[in-house]
Amino acid sequence: MRSLLAIGTPTVMLAALALSPAPQQQTVEGRWDAEARSWDDQSRVQLDLRAEIDGRRSHHGNTFRTEELPGLDLWSRGAGPVQFQLTREAGTIAFTGEQEGDEASGRFVWTRSDRFVERMAGLGYSGLTTRDLFSMTLLDVTTGFVTAMQERGYRAATTRDLIRMRIHGVSAEFVDGLAEAGYDDLSIDDLVRFRIHGVSVDYITAMAGYGYTDLSGEELVRFRIHRVTPEYVETMAAAGFDHLTADDIVRMRIHGVSPQFIEQLGELGYTDLSAEDLRKARIHGVSADFIHDMAGLGFELSMDELVQMRIHGVSAEWVGGFAGLGYDDLSSSTLRRMRIHGVSPDFVREMAAVGYESVPTETLIRFRIHGVDADFVKELEEHNFTGLSAEDLVQARIHGDWMRRSRRP
């Protein structure tokens, strides 16, 4: 029996060692670079760190206030050796290196805080990796922050959630302010999105002052994404649009409907346009210049007619090209049909050059529908078919064997 135990014991010990997790790094060593930056009119330091953590390369870039890095004064534009330290609850990073003007670089050593690891385990976060702890040091994830978020209902926050919230500046004060404004059931994703897009308590309050109360979190984010600001709402109200729905004002902003655009159209006589009219005008390129140019050609059109003209690519330059060819009394509907079927000033000139001048617009449209062009006329002439009427040309094109049959003896 002793011999069996003696043989088996090492095997069991080796298996246990194989199943044991690899010991965590207590320290991380790597390289750093720093550069002086100005952000929000404040002196900042952009700090980039590169190291191998848990067997993987890692690159972290963070911006710090100058007072957070005592011993590093890039704004002095000095030169020489530097030594400073970043101390946080999750760990400490010691930096050494050289400064050259407003830049510096060197090596660093991070040491984790075992006390922080113990406290986080007590809050439900056991098994933190070295990468987690390193990130928590840089982003200043503290047990106080974790406790505060748990007290506000975010007990299910993952380690990644905690890091994301700190990256984007989600704080207990931010959560409390939103709760007071009526947003007390936001998810962590909602909080992060609010911070990313600038949905603040002040913004919510300002928008409520213009009648946008009880907006959903999604609507607030859409407002911010599309730059629906209190200033924009105020100027649109002054232009006569003070009761727009949330969807309407977002669509107006997306398509570039501005008070200036409304004023320009008003000066041209378009004073009773709806929000939908304005949006369609912007989508399809009905500008003040287009309206002015078309009026100069004798077209006093409704907004619907203008939109239809632009949808089909009718431009003032294109219309003007027909006036010089004797077509100076065309209706907007005729112009649209000519544009749809490809009747252009160039096409009219080409047909005139082969003997078909002053052709009625409906006939020109029929020419294009059936593929009658100058090349087709020349082809007929090569086979001694000359002096054909416009209708003959269309029929010749419709009946592809017409020419061959006509040539038979």
What average pLDDT does range 141-160 have in this prediction? Answer: 97
DSSP 67: G
Phi-psi region for residue 182, left (φ > 0), alpha (ψ -120 to 50) or beta? left
What average pLDDT does range 219-243 have in this prediction? Answer: 95
At residue 68, what are phi and psi to the nearest 5 degrees? -80, -15
**Confidence band for 19, pLDDT divided at 50, 70 and 90:** very low
**Confidence band for 255, pLDDT divided at 50, 70 and 90:** very high
pLDDT per position as a tens digit, 29-88: 999 999 999 877 788 999 999 999 988 999 999 999 999 999 999 988 889 999 999 999
pLDDT at 1: 36
What average pLDDT does range 250-270 have in this prediction? Answer: 96
The mean predicted confidence, pLDDT, of the chain is 91
Please state whether beta strands 79-88 and 56-65 pair in parallel, antiparallel, or not at all (unpaired).
unpaired
pLDDT at 243: 87
pLDDT per position as a tens digit, 179-195: 999 999 999 999 999 99
Both tokens assigned to 282: 């912007």
What amino acid occupies position 392? D
What average pLDDT does range 286-294 have in this prediction? Answer: 96
Both tokens assigned to 329: 């009394």
Which residues are bridge partners to 33 per DSSP? 48, 105
pLDDT at 55: 87
Provide the H-helix boundaries in 95-228.
114-122, 130-139, 143-151, 159-167, 172-180, 188-197, 201-209, 217-225
Is the Cβ–Cβ distance between 113 and 90 less than 8 Å?
yes
**Confidence band for 16, pLDDT divided at 50, 70 and 90:** very low
pLDDT per position as a tens digit, 189-220: 999 999 999 999 999 999 999 999 999 999 99
